[in-house]
Amino acid sequence: MNGTGARSRKAKKSQTYEEVSDAQYFQQLEERSPKGEEKDGEEEEETERSRTLALAKREVSQKKLQNPIMQLRQCCNSPHNFYYPFDLDDHTPVDETLVTESGKMLLLDRLLPDLLRKGHKILIFSQFKTQLDLLETYCTDLRGWPVCRIDGSVAQSERQEQILAFNSTESEVDVFLLSTRAGGQGINLAAADTVLLFDSDWNPQQDLQAQDRAHRIGQTRPVIVYRFATKGTVEQMLLEKADSKRRLEKLVIQKGRFRQEGGGEGEDFSELQRLLGRDDGERIEVADGKGLLNDRDLEILTDRSPEAFVRAEKGEDAVGRVFKAVEMKAGGDGLLESLQK
Question: What is the pLDDT, as a whole number, of residue 240?
Answer: 82
- Confirm if 242 and 202 have CB atoms less than 8 A apart: yes
- Confirm if 188 and 114 have CB atoms less than 8 A apart: no
Least confident of 46-55, 192-201, 224-233: 46-55
Residue 71's H or E segment, with its range, is: helix 68-77
Instruction: Please choose, from the candidates 242, 252, 241, 309, the residue with its C-alpha nearest in 3D space to the C-alpha of residue 275.
Output: 252
Q: What is the pLDDT of residues 67-102, one digit of tens each?
A: 778 888 888 999 888 877 777 666 678 889 899 889
Mean pLDDT on 187-200: 90
| b/e sequence 305-336, b meaning 16+ C-beta within 10 Å | eeebeeebeeeebebeeeeebbebeeebeebb
The per-residue DSSP string of 197-238 comes to ESS--SSHHHHHHHHTTTSSTT--S--EEEE---TTSHHHHH
Give dist(CA 73, CA 233) in Å, integer. Answer: 8
* Domain-wise residue ranges, the chain: 57-231
The confidence band for 49, taking pLDDT boundaries of 50, 70 and 90, is confident
Examine the pLDDT at 35 and tell me if it is beyond 90: no
Give dist(CA 169, CA 153) in Å, integer. Answer: 27
Question: What is the pLDDT, as a whole number, of residue 329?
Answer: 35
SS3 132: helix
Strands 321-322 and 285-286: antiparallel
- Which fold would CATH assign to domain 57-231? Rossmann fold (3.40.50)
Total-model pTM:
0.65
CA 190 remoteness from chain centre: 27
Q: What is the pLDDT of residues 135-158, one digit of tens each?
A: 999 999 999 999 999 998 888 888
Instruction: Please choose, from the candidates 197, 196, 191, the residue with its C-alpha nearest in 3D space to the C-alpha of residue 214.
Output: 191
Give dist(CA 84, CA 94) in Å, integer. Answer: 10
The residue type at 247: R
Residues of the chain with pLDDT > 90, as a percent, come to 22
Give dist(CA 67, CA 61) in Å, integer. Answer: 12
Q: Distance of CA 134 to CAs 67, 80, 81, 140, 201, Å?
A: 21, 8, 8, 10, 19
